[in-house]
Chain A
Amino acid sequence: MGKWLPVLTVILAIFAGWYATVPFMNIKETLSALERAGAVVTPDSPIERRDAPSFALVVKNSFAVPATYAQDRPRLPAPHQVALDLWQTTVEKKITSKRSLVYHGWITLSATLLGFVIGTGGGILLAVGIVHSRAMDMSVMPWAIASQTIPILAIAPMIIVVLNSVGIQGLVPKAIISAYLSFFPVVVGMVKGLRAPDAMQLDLLKTYHATQAQVFWKLRLPASMPYLFASLKIGVAAALVGAIVAELPAGGARGLGGRMLTGSYYGQMVQIWSALVLAAVLAAVLVLLIGLAQRMTLKRMGLT
């Protein structure tokens, strides 16, 4: 219980703040709708209402507050509206339906996982190269850092367009953008991890006349494990962001990114929020799974 109390307190505070904000965000549309339905609202001129501060409108029309929580297309949906939409689009829809979030979530997840595997593999290989070759250390690292300074939103459409022009579309371009974001933390973490053994430990292996490969497998790689898992957690979250961003210019309205995009086209804020919540849940589960793998691996290695 002691562990959960702080967590619950924070969640409760977020929900309280959220519910408190909803009336102010939705009051103008709610008043217009109520006026059309024949209610008396103050002020009664739409132009005056447009220019009035939300706070004043809520105070003057306190009767309309309940209605702000029940709009069809709220500017800010209340948590229960998002929860209802999530329920309807995940549990109540067949997962083959284009309106099922499970369907869209899987599209994003598959690109995320493929990208994560490519990014992690590439990142580890790069790190091994950087640690063992001075030339690579000097040449690759600056490029790796530079690659992360380019806004992903700028480069994602280019990758999609270029790959599309050579006939590659669908999963692979999205996975590549995912990998582009996730390889970097793995490179940085693994370089640090592979260099973690100190001079004394390297000298010890030198007294055994160990080969480079033996130094790598027996010392550098095991020593890097704690660093690797820390990087993987960042990397998998970055991979998910990459997959979602990649879905924005991809068109076709598939995946969680696609849901967010169509939601903004049609003013369906609830749909955007649902996709957001699902993305957050996916990220949390992925990070949790890596944390689990970390605990199992380090325990087996006797490091915890």
Chain B
Amino acid sequence: MAPSAIAPVISAKSLDLTFQTADAPVHALKDVSLDILPGDFVSFIGPSGCGKTTFLRCIAGLETPTGGTLTVNGMSADEARRARAYGYVFQAAGLYPWRTISGNIKLPLEIMGYSKADQNSRVAEVLELVELSDFGGKFPWQLSGGMQQRASIARALAFDADILLMDEPFGALDEIVRDHLNEQLLELWARTDKTIAFVTHSIPEAVYLSTKIVVMSPRPGRITDVIDSPLPKERPLDIRDTPEFIEIAHRVREGLRAGHADD
């Protein structure tokens, strides 16, 4: 590799994953190759069964590919998981009901052995980042769904991981809340320089957020199109009415339709 080239944070080459089930093997991923560079915001979009969540779980070391190679920060995915290379945000906030919001954010810090003082300063910092500073002492049930999801993002940001993996984090929220959280997420990404991999089934969300959009299709799960977004890094919500935005959204829709041609 030329020394001037930037090394990818996540690199997948000909990744295959086949689940052995009772009747027939399921090809969750077939020949998936993709490089994600530092500071990228990559969205994975596709219908259910296209392997977008499975691919994210492979990156996280929660699933083991049956073929191909996958490196995260230059290590194997499992080594990267052990090295705590990423924060993972699930579709459900999954906060512990017996811990306060601060307590929930401390959970990974306690497990990773951060000092008490460090824990407190980090909690304050990420609470401020997701605009929940006044809610640290509240229990999860006292917060709305959107606020709970913000707390779960704060939990994933609290420790030093420069990768953020997000699996349909706003899928269960209504559109107004989702718009607001999308805006906040972009701000947060600009402030933290994280590399973000984001799974979604919403075309506007994917186009609005991403620097790179990966379109996937099912049976077998594969990548059908990778779109580098020409949109600027600074993105107000009304950018969604510009011709460029509509153009990209159109290309994503075409890609999704092509993947369905065999149905």
Footprint of B on A, CB under 8 Å?
A: 200-201, 203-210, 214, 218-219, 222, 225, 301-303
Is there a chain A Cβ closer than 8 Å to B111's Cβ? yes
The residue among B99, B100, B107, B112 with the most chain A CB atoms within 10 A of its own CB is B107
B248 to chain A, nearest CB (A): 31
CA distance A206 to B60 in the complex (A): 9
- Inter-subunit contact A201/B94 (CB<8 Å): yes
> Which residue of A204, A210, A214 is within 8 Å of B94 (Cβ)?
A204
A15 to chain B, nearest CB (A): 44
* Residues in B neighbouring A225, C-beta threshold 8 A: 98
* Residues in B neighbouring A218, C-beta threshold 8 A: 107, 110-111
* Residues in B neighbouring A208, C-beta threshold 8 A: 84, 107-108, 111-112
One digit per residue, 1 when the CB lies within 8 angstroms of any chain A CB and 0 when it does not, for chain B 108-144 equals: 1011100000000000000000000000000100000
Is there a chain A Cβ closer than 8 Å to B97's Cβ? yes
- Inter-subunit contact B139/A209 (CB<8 Å): no
- Inter-subunit contact A222/B98 (CB<8 Å): yes
Is there a chain A Cβ closer than 8 Å to B86's Cβ? yes
Question: What would 25 A/B residue contacts be, using CB atoms closer than 8 Å?
Answer: A200-B90, A200-B92, A200-B94, A203-B62, A203-B88, A204-B88, A204-B90, A206-B62, A207-B60, A207-B62, A207-B81, A207-B87, A208-B84, A208-B111, A209-B82, A209-B84, A210-B111, A214-B111, A218-B110, A222-B96, A301-B98, A302-B97, A302-B99, A302-B139, A303-B97
Q: Which 8 A-B pairs have the closest CB atoms?
A: A301-B98, A302-B139, A207-B88, A210-B111, A208-B111, A208-B108, A222-B98, A209-B82
Instruction: Across the interface, name the chain B residue whose C-beta is closest to A301.
Output: B98
Instruction: Across the interface, name the chain A residue whose C-beta is closest to B84.
Output: A209
> Which residue of B94, B98, B111 is within 8 Å of A303 (Cβ)?
B98
**Could you list 7 further interchain pairs (A-B, Cβ under 8 angstroms) beyond the known A218-B110, A302-B139?**
A200-B90, A200-B94, A204-B88, A210-B111, A214-B111, A302-B97, A302-B98
Interface of A (DSSP majority class):
helix
A177 to chain B, nearest CB (A): 35
* Residues in B neighbouring A302, C-beta threshold 8 A: 97-100, 139
A222 to chain B, nearest CB (A): 5
CA distance A209 to B84 in the complex (A): 7
The residue among B98, B99, B110 with the most chain A CB atoms within 10 A of its own CB is B98
* Residues in B neighbouring A200, C-beta threshold 8 A: 90, 92, 94
- Inter-subunit contact B86/A207 (CB<8 Å): yes
- Inter-subunit contact B94/A209 (CB<8 Å): no
* Residues in B neighbouring A204, C-beta threshold 8 A: 88, 90, 94
CA distance A203 to B62 in the complex (A): 7
Instruction: Across the interface, name the chain B residue whose C-beta is closest to A300.
Output: B98
* Residues in A neighbouring B82, C-beta threshold 8 A: 209
> Which residue of B83, B84, B92, B96 is within 8 Å of A219 (Cβ)?
B96
B69 to chain A, nearest CB (A): 21
* Residues in A neighbouring B100, C-beta threshold 8 A: 302
B136 to chain A, nearest CB (A): 13
CA distance A254 to B41 in the complex (A): 77
B176 to chain A, nearest CB (A): 26
Contacts of B54-92 to chain A: CB distance below 8 A: 60, 62, 81-84, 86-88, 90, 92
Instruction: Across the interface, name the chain A residue whose C-beta is closest to B108.
Output: A208
A22 to chain B, nearest CB (A): 52
Instruction: Across the interface, name the chain A residue whose C-beta is closest to B161.
Output: A207
* Residues in A neighbouring B62, C-beta threshold 8 A: 203, 206-207
CA distance A201 to B139 in the complex (A): 17
B188 to chain A, nearest CB (A): 19
CA distance A302 to B141 in the complex (A): 9
* Residues in B neighbouring A210, C-beta threshold 8 A: 111
B207 to chain A, nearest CB (A): 28
Instruction: Across the interface, name the chain B residue whose C-beta is closest to A222.
Output: B98
CA distance A206 to B92 in the complex (A): 16
B9 to chain A, nearest CB (A): 16
CA distance A200 to B152 in the complex (A): 13
One digit per residue, 1 when the CB lies within 8 angstroms of any chain A CB and 0 when it does not, for chain B 158-180 equals: 00000000000000000000000
* Residues in B neighbouring A205, C-beta threshold 8 A: 111
* Residues in B neighbouring A207, C-beta threshold 8 A: 60, 62, 81, 86-88
CA distance A218 to B100 in the complex (A): 14
* Residues in B neighbouring A214, C-beta threshold 8 A: 111
CA distance A206 to B139 in the complex (A): 24
A123 to chain B, nearest CB (A): 22
B91 to chain A, nearest CB (A): 8
Instruction: Across the interface, name the chain B residue whose C-beta is closest to A214.
Output: B111
Instruction: Across the interface, name the chain A residue whose C-beta is closest to B82.
Output: A209
A265 to chain B, nearest CB (A): 53
* Residues in A neighbouring B86, C-beta threshold 8 A: 207
* Residues in A neighbouring B99, C-beta threshold 8 A: 302
Instruction: Across the interface, name the chain B residue whose C-beta is closest to A201.
Output: B94
CB within 8 Å for A203 and B90 given contacts A302-B97, A302-B99, A303-B97:
yes
